[in-house]
Structures are given as C-alpha cells and as structure tokens.
Structure 1
Amino acid sequence: MKTAIKPAKHISWSTMFADFKEITKVRLAVSVVFSSIAGYLLGAYEISVVTLLLLAFGGYCMVGASNAYNQIIERDLDALMKRTRNRPIPSGRVSVHQGLIIAVLLTVFGVVSLYFVNPKTAMFGAISIFLYTSVYTPLKTITPLSVFVGALPGAIPFMLGWVAATNEFGIEPGTLFMIQFFWQFPHFWALAWMLDDDYRKGGFKLLPTGKKDKGTAVQIIMYTIWMMVISVIPAFGITGRLHLSIIAAVIVFLMGAVMLFFAFRLYDKRDNVSARKLMLASVTYITFIQLVYVSDKYIGMLI
C-alpha cells in the first residue's frame, strides 16, 4: 500500500540547503570524495590541484545524483520507515519534480567534471550511478543479493582516484576496488542488523539469511577475513606500482583484526550493540587504511 506524499511547501534558503545535503547524503558523499582523493594520491606521479578539484566535485555529484534518484524511487517506502520518513521528498519539503531536477543536474555536472579528468574516470562514474540507481535500488525489496550488486558501485571511489591519476585500469586500481568491495559487506550488514526492524517496514531484504542470526554473523566474519587478506596483498610485491611496506601492512592487518574481533563479538552476542560497534569499527578501518596507504607511499619516497 502506498503512502501519500505531502505537497511541497515554501521553505527558507537554510532549509533548502539542509534538504540538499540530506538528499545528496553529504556525509556519505564526503567519504566517497575522501576515498577518491586517497586513490588519486596513490596513483599520481605528480599532483594536479585542478584534477583533484574536478575529481572531488565530480565525485560528490556522482554520489549525490545516485542518492537523489534513490530517494525519488523509494519515496513511498521511505515514508513507512522511522529513519527515513522525514527525508525531503517523503516529508513534502521537496517535490518529486524538484528532486528529479537535482538528480539530473548532478548527473550532468558529475559526468562532465570527471570527463575533464579523463574519459575512463567519467565512464566508471556513470557506471556507478547506473548500477546504484537502476539495479541495486529495485533489488533491495526483492533479494539480499542486492547488497552484492550495491557493493560494486560502492567499491568504485578508491579505484576511481587511481584511474583519475593515470587514465589506466589494471592490477593497482583493481586491488583498491577489491579492498573496498569486501569491506562493504561487514560494514553494511552491521548497519542492516541494527536497522533490520525499520528496514522490514519498507520491505527491504538486506541481511544475507534474512535474519539476525548466526548465519548472517558467519558471513560477516568471512567477508571481514577476505577484506583483511586483500588489504595486505600489496606488501607481497604482486600489485604493480601499488606497494605497501611491511610496517604499514602490519598496521593494516591489526586494524582488520580489530574489525574481526567485533565481528566475532556480534556472532557471540547477536545484538544491536555489537552490530553498532562493528559498524563504527568498519568506518574507522576504511578511513585509516587509506591514510596508511597514502602515508606509506609518500614516506617511502622520502626515505
């Protein structure tokens, strides 16, 4: 049964700006920009400020467009859930037409900006928007496999930065892609565990077994282990120009071990508190390993 969306009302500029930040999911968008910049710094022979600005702007637009399309498509379902019912579109502060204008403009600005970086970067940006909007979003109410599909565009940002710096796709950006790809499963499933009751109100099927049970916890553990393995592979000298020193690899491994500890804790406790701790650990992990990778490269260049 569909829930009626309230008509859009006249609102202030400050509210419009706040709604823009919410419809583009500013925190998520900024984290994507951060990942893209980290990938760029890893791949760059020389740093171009212009390229960095285009990458940051295009990356924000890319994520913002994806989220805007998503909120347009899911507006009726968002109105059913406590965590999303006050979003701009289901609350009536932004009309569907206005949301669509925002989404289209962000798509154009994002793809054009990334094209000025290089065509491959624009292509991956466009693929990301398409997969998130046209495949992942409709699958969320059909099958838990939607998380696998959603992990594909979600893994692009770290890789995108390398492609922006080199205009090439090979083992190096492929490795960065795999790190962020495997990381997303424990991160997102921890979040989905916490919000499962609310997600069910919207008809979303996101946990791998459909339940907050040991089966889901086991899969979280397995993907966390794979994430740890992929994250230290550059230390073995088999990933082209993407290198990681032994010290940096140990740091990355230990950070992964912290995540794994919380994954086992979730298996043992199977409660929302443990899921929240794992989710927060995962956010810390992906941020800090990107810092470690970048720092390790530039410290190595100075030694």
Structure 2
Amino acid sequence: MSTKAVQEVQPSIIKDFKEITKMRLALSVVFSSVAGYLLGAETIDWSIVLLLSLGGYFMVGASNAYNQIIEKDLDVLMNRTKNRPIPAGRMSVTTAFIIATVFTVLGLVILYNINQQTALFGAISIFLYTCVYTPLKTKTPLAVFVGAIPGAIPFMLGWVAATNDFGIEPGTLFALQFFWQFPHFWAIGWFLYEDYKRGGFFMLPTGKQDRGTAVQTIMYTIWTILISIVPVLGITGELKLSIVAAIIVFLLGLVMLYYALQLFKKMTEKAAKQLMLSSVFYISLIQIVYVLDKFIR
C-alpha cells in the first residue's frame, strides 16, 4: 500500500472509531461525572478522577457501539445515521461487537476499582440503554423516559465515586439531569422528526410536532429549573448552593425556558434547534456553577 493510501486509511479508521463510540457524547458524559465527583469529594484524588474519566468513557462508548449494532438496519434509512460505520459498510458487526465488549469489560473493571457502587450504576446504565431504551425507541415515546435514566446517571455517578454512598445528594443530581433530558431530547426529536419517522422512531411524547409536545417540553423545563435551585434550601444534605449561585442557576434556567416557550409559539424546527442548543449550554453551565460555588463559598 502506498504512503498516500495509508494516510487516507488511518484517518478513516480513527474517524469510524470515534463515531461508533460517539466520542463527543462520551466526553460530555465524562465532564458530568467529573463535575459530580468534584461536588462530592472532600479532598480531590486525581487518580480517581482519571479512573472515573476512563471508566465513564468506556461505558458510554460501549453503550453507543451496542446501540449502533442493534439499529444498523434502521440507521440505513435515516440521513443523519446512514453514513455511520456499520450501515455504510466500513465496519463489520463483529468488529463493532468486539469494541463494545472490550469497552464494557474495561469500563466495569475500572469503575469497580473506584468502588462497587460506581461499577453497579455503570452496569445499570449500559443495561438500560442497550437492552431497554434502544428496543423501545421504535415502539413507544416512553423510550425517552427510560433513556433519561442512564442519561442522568453520570452526574450522580461522580458523587458516588467520591463518597461510595448513594443518598439525597446524588439523588438530587440525578433528578436534575433526568428532568433536563426531556426538553433536550424532545427538541432533537422535533427538528429531526422526519428523519426519525423514516427510521420508525417515536421520540415525541404525543408522536407529533404539536402543541401537546410543546406544552410538555415547557413543563419539564420548569421542573428542571425548580430542582436546580433546591440545594439552596439546605434540604439536600452536603449538596449546598449559595443564594448568589442559586440566582445564577435560576436565570440560566429562564433562558432555556424562553426557548421552550419560543417552540410553543413558533412550532418550527429552527425553534426546536435553538432549544436543543440552549439546553446543552444550560446543563454544562449549571454543573460549572455548582462546582465553582462549592470551592468559592
């Protein structure tokens, strides 16, 4: 093989590996996990941070690889997924399965080395995403509810990694990220409605781009905002929030609520995309504010 051919193949292999494991999504999950760890840790152990980051990345990568194996025939039908490694024929199912299996084993072993509870929640996450959420996507809009469970685990996983305990604190972090996922994923389901329809996926709560979906999006956004400021009341154990931080968190929530209201008002794919983008900025900024508030207080 010529040098030029090798140079062309290498980026393709790397790109396909990143796509089968959804590296960008995995890194956002690692960010959430580390934020949760920093909130729960009395003293920061950087070796735990490293293990949590690696274990979290492997678990998410495994879930995504399993997902793409299961949905390979449906991915061919949708514009956003037809060029993924498996449906495009650049990667075999066997190769993808090996990657998923190796990632699962590595992820569980690494998380187990932090503590047993962290490994347990990691295993629950990969099971629910692969064996429950993925099959349900073509059957019922309730799939989003199930998918929100593994999606909410990373933030609380960090706290459990730091404390080896599950209580009101990680429960609150879980609830925040759980409710946030509904406006986030419904916004995605809205602007990708036609593409999802081609694949036979039911992502919107009413199954349609209608007022009912928009109203539910607003309601879950409000729930997210309310949960985000609960720690300021002093009822969430060691998870605390200063008044200044709570005001900032509340204002950030109002920005996302504005875009949810805009979706109700305009009912357009552009409005849905704006809500999705605002939700991504929201959850990242919320986690940063929570962490900064702990160390500045």
Q: Aligned equivalents of 1:254 and 1:178: distance in 2?
A: 19
User: In the alignment, does 2:144 pair up with 1:147?
Assistant: yes
- Counterpart of 2:201 in structure 1 is 204
| Structure 2 residue corresponding to 1:174, chosen from 147, 158, 171 | 171
Q: Aligned equivalents of 1:92 and 1:117: distance in 2?
A: 38
Q: Aligned equivalents of 1:239 and 1:13: distance in 2?
A: 49
- Counterpart of 2:260 in structure 1 is 263
1:26-53 deviation digits (Å, cap 9, x = unpaired):
1110000000000000000111111000
- Counterpart of 1:159 in structure 2 is 156
The one-letter amino acid of 1:213's match is D
SS in structure 2 of the partner of residue 159 of structure 1? helix
1:99-153 deviation digits (Å, cap 9, x = unpaired):
0000000000001000001110000000000000000000000000000000000
Query: How do 1:275-294 and structure 2 match up within 5 A?
Result: 275-294=272-291
Q: Aligned equivalents of 1:269 and 1:77: distance in 2?
A: 30
| Structure 2 residue corresponding to 1:92, chosen from 89, 99, 102 | 89
- Counterpart of 1:5 in structure 2 is none
The one-letter amino acid of 2:205's match is P
SS in structure 2 of the partner of residue 12 of structure 1? helix
User: In the alignment, does 2:293 pair up with 1:296?
Assistant: yes
The one-letter amino acid of 1:34's match is F
Q: Give the gaps of 5 or more residues in structure 2.
A: 1-5
How far is the alpha carbon of 1:12 from its aligned partner? 2.0
User: In the alignment, does 2:91 pair up with 1:103?
Assistant: no
Q: Aligned equivalents of 1:101 and 1:14: distance in 2?
A: 20
TM score, norm. by length of structure 1: 0.95
The one-letter amino acid of 1:179's match is L
How far is the alpha carbon of 1:19 from its aligned partner? 0.5
- Counterpart of 1:131 in structure 2 is 128
User: In the alignment, does 2:115 pair up with 1:118?
Assistant: yes
Which one is further off, 173-182 or 13-22? 13-22
Q: Aligned equivalents of 1:206 and 1:265: distance in 2?
A: 20
Q: What is the total number of aligned residue pairs between the two structures? A: 291
- Counterpart of 1:34 in structure 2 is 31
The one-letter amino acid of 1:272's match is E
SS in structure 1 of the partner of residue 113 of structure 2? helix
How far is the alpha carbon of 1:14 from its aligned partner? 2.1
User: In the alignment, does 2:207 pair up with 1:224?
Assistant: no
- Counterpart of 1:78 in structure 2 is 75
SS in structure 1 of the partner of residue 86 of structure 2? helix
Q: Aligned equivalents of 2:94 and 2:235: distance in 1?
A: 50
- Counterpart of 1:60 in structure 2 is 57
- Counterpart of 2:41 in structure 1 is 44
How far is the alpha carbon of 1:86 from its aligned partner? 0.2
- Counterpart of 2:3 in structure 1 is none
Q: Once the two structures are aligned, what percentage of the paired residues are identical?
A: 67
1:215-268 deviation digits (Å, cap 9, x = unpaired):
000000000000000000000000000000000000000000010011011001
RMSD after superposition = 0.9
- Counterpart of 2:19 in structure 1 is 22
1:153-203 deviation digits (Å, cap 9, x = unpaired):
000000000000000000000000000000000000001101000000000
Q: Give the gaps of 5 or more residues in structure 1.
A: 1-9
TM score, norm. by length of structure 2: 0.97
